Structure 1
């Protein structure tokens, strides 16, 4: 039966989606990070806790309140979101680049999976890892700092959107990089600066006008600002504007990733 037919038993398609293949890829991506949870889930929590502790001790007493809340409370949502996006990016980028270096990327490309199904499968793993980290960090912030989400649904939407955006960006990086040092260069010179220069540890209103305008061009700023609004009820910009910018940027990156998978760009020898 032709693979584009509404139902094909050989490829387990129902309609135009290979649900079994999509589920298998998504499950593989989730199991890949959960099998080494001390490295992929516990380590980020420890790193986030160290960030919070060091900045609180070194800067907190001198900084005073920021936007009506304590400095520690202000930076906590930013650290949470920074941890989420770094882990979502690492999940998809490492999965693809490791498969390319080891030469087994063909095992992912050979099954009857379309470009869209490949994107969704990898995306599921990245978003799941981001959500696990976010929930764990939110619980710690609630217990240690007493931070209870001011707008839980808003916080959840921005966490999912941030994990999706960085998962998609991780796909692009993983597809483009053919070696680990190329992947490290992308992380060090693109992802890390975008994450740190996005209002994680400061309010952009305190920045010079030029730097403030540049920051507003960074989609990650809106993701961190949206989570901050969801958790503690304060933000530098409109959450609705942030959602529109982040959602549009996520769709654009996903479209590029889909095109790369569809054409086999830097994937097929």
Structure 2
């Protein structure tokens, strides 16, 4: 009888802490750590990307803006701005999750994340929270700048926000995969330079894919990042190269697939446990 009472008391205590099957305290702590990690160096993680995006817009405007004319019926700078914003968002979401895992692996304290009573799903959500919040904050900062400088107000704000969150989640999940596979910083840099950057640059960021040759046009439509950039462009200026609803479906499926693989790795401790 006493054993049963002890077990019942343990279940109650565990339930109070976990609120059922989810360790809300641990999840909130991990998510808070990931958000605080980039906020304490906000000049590097938030201000620097915004300045870089502004420099991209300035250089393109000086170099080819006045001579480019309209693209898809809108001024070139208005067409370009959403693509640069989304490119910046996904690069920062990827950097947040990947760097967090690689740093802890290199420093040898990844065990501090694996040892607490957190499930693979809780660890995944905690890491993604940091990437998504950083991506959204960068997007909001750039969007405010576009309103003030170009007078570019989002035509569909909720659509814009939805694709920004999807993009941050997709590249945040990809960053987790990269962080798990990479053992040192030069491997992480290689993944960024040879995978993430081409995905961002060759996805209609600076041009309409309608201008591409048939082969490249077909290839671009296999890339989920194209739909992310195209979706944000639709939300910002109301025009796009593809159906936004179809793009959202593609992005949802791609994000779910990436997160499923990342969850499996975190659940089993693949390449994380010694």
Match of 2:269 in 1: 264
> Equivalences for 1:1-269 in 2 at 5 Å?
7-9=12-14, 12-269=17-274
Alignment partners' CA distance in 1, 2:18 and 2:252: 29
Output one character per residue of 1:217-266: Cα deviation in whole Å (capped at 9) or x when no partner. 00000000000000000100000010000000000000000000011110
5+ residue gaps in structure 2? Answer: 1-5
Alignment partners' CA distance in 1, 2:50 and 2:120: 33
Shift of 1:6: 6.6
Output one character per residue of 1:124-162: Cα deviation in whole Å (capped at 9) or x when no partner. 000000010010110000000000110111101000000
Q: Would you say the 8 A contact 1:222–1:243 is kept in 2?
A: yes
Output one character per residue of 1:18-64: Cα deviation in whole Å (capped at 9) or x when no partner. 00000000000000000000000000000000001111111112211
From the CA coordinates, give the structure whose radius of gyration is larger. Answer: 2
Q: Would you say the 8 A contact 1:151–1:233 is kept in 2?
A: yes
Shift of 1:192: 0.3
| Pair 190,11 (structure 1): closer, same or farther in 2 beyond 3 Å | farther
Q: Would you say the 8 A contact 1:97–1:174 is kept in 2?
A: yes
Shift of 1:8: 4.1
Match of 1:84, SS? helix
Shift of 1:10: 8.6
5+ residue gaps in structure 1? Answer: none
With 10-19 and 62-71 compared, the bigger mean Cα shift is at 10-19
Shift of 1:12: 2.0
Match of 2:155, SS? coil
TM-score, normalisation: structure 2? 0.95
Output one character per residue of 1:41-94: Cα deviation in whole Å (capped at 9) or x when no partner. 000000000001111111112211100011111000000000000000000000
Shift of 1:7: 4.9
Hey, which bits of structure 1, 4+ residues long, moved more than 3 A?
5-11
What is the CA RMSD across the aligned residues, in angstroms?
1.4
